[in-house]
Structure 1
């Protein structure tokens, strides 16, 4: 039940991120009032404008740099989330055995299943909720960046092949594909809910991207590429090799 609520909460959070929930049609300036505008949206808008000036008026490069900066700031949280997902993935075979052992749907059996799973998590040092905190912490920052992009006057500038202030017809496919790859790399095996999200999320992102200015889709694509590189570095073959080498050295010292 908790997983279902977590999945629903994540979906709602993404919808809020993509659609916004307040003042989205009002330009952001230094005169904008309110805690949200003054301490979240306007500083990011100001940074985008300053970087655009640095890049000779290129708001595209400004959005790329701001996205990388924010992702880097949030890197410790994202590493925690990635490692949590990896740890859950490693114990999935044992969880599946427990689910098969306690397959009956009566309340007593299900309570026993939950007790056994909690014991397994404690034994392996895995917290199934550890991946939720980073999402909750980063969501206001990402939402603020979304507002900053949507409420900053970027004019009719272009970047690469697309106009930043208009929807593009190629970038949404890149957004959907990179979202799929990023989720696939972090997906916990044999988790039906994650498999559903693996399909639904990329499609939803791509569909929204067809209706939003390309500036917002650019932010999403850059963030996805950053996450793909980060996930590969943390959980890829080289990461496992480095872990084995470290364990071998520790064993040799003993």
Structure 2
């Protein structure tokens, strides 16, 4: 069932990018608060901008943050976790000391600090969130690796003289990846919410950028008179975050 939903969402994303987009920085005060139409699929906002185009561009920016931040924490976390779990007590303690430092500062606070210094962009947000989450994956990988390295088939390979690199990447890593993908999907939903929160605050951000959080902040004053303006970005955040959690929260999804 989940695979069917995944295919449907994928098709919707493909169709979405084939529909025409408008210039979201173009202001048309003669076309404000227009209803849903064939020209403006979600209507227009108080500046006459096409809300559908804003949502699509916001989706691209959000996915950029999710993919970049997840890749940073996932890849570095796996490397550190494998080394810590396989190479012995001293290495494990040293790596744990490093990764615990990443966990001390919440990713949201780290992103605020970086944004205040460099400005809030998808790249700076990705770096802050990704680095902060390294410890999550590293600790999980280290625990799973320690449990697996004492398994009989791993010990047998060591007796046969098989190298540590082959053992790690040929046998241990494939066995722990399903667990990590489950964590990855859960964290992805959190990244979406964190980025939306950062853009809602708007620290160092360009309010003309089509970010869902920025849209919520801009449209908040119309929540009584024009609640539909709030609905579109809020629905986008909810649907995307829920999709990651619902589709990928089961390890069986990643099995062949």
Q: With structure 2 as the length reference, what TM-score do the two structures score? A: 0.26
Structure ranking higher on relative contact order (CA contacts 8 Å, 6+ apart):
1
